Amino acid sequence: MTKPGVTTRQVHADRQLNHPADGAVHTSTTNAVLFEFEKTQDLVDVFQGKKMGHVYGRSSSGSMAALQTIIADMEGGIATACFATGMAAITSTMLSLFKAGDHLIVSQYLFGNTRSFLDTLMDLGVELTFVDVTSIRDVIAAKQDNTRAVFTETIANPVTQVADLRAIGKWCEEQKLLFMVDNTMTPPPAFDAKAMKVSLVLNSLTKYHGGHGHVLGGAVTDMGNFDWTSFSNIKPAYQVADERMWGITQIRKKGLRDLGATLAAQSAHLISVGIETLSLRMARSTENAMKLATYLESQDKIERVYYPGLSNHPQHYFAREQLGGYGAILSFDLVPGIDPCEFLDELKLVLSATHLGDTRTLALPVASTIFFENGQRERARMGITETMIRMSVGIEDTDDLVADFDQALAKF
């Protein structure tokens, strides 16, 4: 039988891969922090990584393991580690893999908190070069002898720049560099990490996976195509028998166990339920985003719309060729003279709120909120205008969203 599609797997993964007891369709959550072993030797073997099992809730639990199986399956990877938040996944992964003296090539268009964390990483002695990831030439030009990895998002937020993922992946493979991609914007099937030769996929599960604004989580998935024997930062203790597992083992030990940002059992359950409708919600949100982008572009009170699905978007070609969807984030500038906050106050259905990937359509002025701390120069470098409004398009009926904008625009 051919492998079922991603949507089918998302619906059936928990039951089929995790085999919950009693034929339950969800893995039951455990609140247990500790796990008893009848034979002490088994406890010893689990500690030493010779046997699978759980010893302490900060490192692993059945609930977390169940979600990890589901995410690894949908990404097409070999193993996943889950964390308390998306930021925990990103920070724990980087802190467990890199050290002072390493150099990373990083997208200059990044989620604000990730960008802020990278300042901390630089303070710790990791060298970074920020590049325009829409240009493979800029990425290649940034390479140094001590370069370890390239890190980018698929579609950046809020300006929606699309990285040249295929070219970067191919180059990283040739150069034996770790290719790390934050795929929060385009969860499977919209992004095929394996085809783009990604080494590690990072996700905020808080966004589209959870999907309902009710749970925080994060994940890192090893796609199984990176040669960890060529990566000198793996500690001898984690150079376990299967070389493909060296990276995720170190991330689990150094990142999860030592840093301790563990995903709670109940959160793991809520995220796995969210994943069952991920493809449906994503498809609907993407369709709504395309329609809204087209509508907004035709309005004379809107100066500019940023959405990769529009044919005039600078990376429309990359998005069309490399992604299975244009995502559900779109941004726009109102014409000068209309205050973004006053405009957003006139929207009745659209919520003024941060967050993205929700069933509800959300909007906010970005320069004064999520990118306020960055300052105007940094914002300009990211392509963020001072009046830009970002929207995370939800799954509502399209006509209702358009009607909401119609009535709001009529007020100005």
Ligand X SMILES: *Cc1c(COP(=O)(O)O)cnc(C)c1O
Interacting residues toward ligand X by CB under 6 A: 85-87, 111, 114, 153, 157, 182, 184, 204, 206-207, 216, 218, 356
Our CB check for ligand X shows the closer of 90 and 167 to be: 90
- Minimum CB distance to ligand X, residue 202 (Å): 7
Handedness of CA 266, 370, 178, 73 (dihedral sign): positive
In this structure, are residues 163 and 154 in contact, taking their beta carbons and an 8 Å threshold? yes
In this structure, are residues 172 and 144 in contact, taking their beta carbons and an 8 Å threshold? no
Cα–Cα–Cα angle for 91, 93, 147, nearest 5°? 100
Closest CA to 159 of 107, 193, 109: 109
- Minimum CB distance to ligand X, residue 76 (Å): 20
Our CB check for ligand X shows the closer of 87 and 366 to be: 87
Distance CA 402, CA 408 (A): 10
Our CB check for ligand X shows the closer of 373 and 397 to be: 373
Distance CA 84, CA 355 (A): 16
The one-letter amino acid code at 287 reads E
- Minimum CB distance to ligand X, residue 207 (Å): 6
- Minimum CB distance to ligand X, residue 293 (Å): 19
- Minimum CB distance to ligand X, residue 216 (Å): 5
Our CB check for ligand X shows the closer of 87 and 293 to be: 87
Our CB check for ligand X shows the closer of 18 and 392 to be: 392
Give residue for tokens 């247990």.
Answer: 32
- Minimum CB distance to ligand X, residue 178 (Å): 18
In this structure, are residues 333 and 385 in contact, taking their beta carbons and an 8 Å threshold? yes
Please enumerate in sequence order all residues whose Cβ is within 8 A of that of 399, keeping only pairs 6 or more positions apart, or say none: none
Q: Which residue is nearest to ligand X (CB)?
A: 86
The one-letter amino acid code at 409 reads L
Q: Which two tokens stand for residue 8?
A: 């089918």
Our CB check for ligand X shows the closer of 151 and 226 to be: 151
β-bridge partners, 203: 219
- Minimum CB distance to ligand X, residue 327 (Å): 11
Our CB check for ligand X shows the closer of 63 and 267 to be: 267
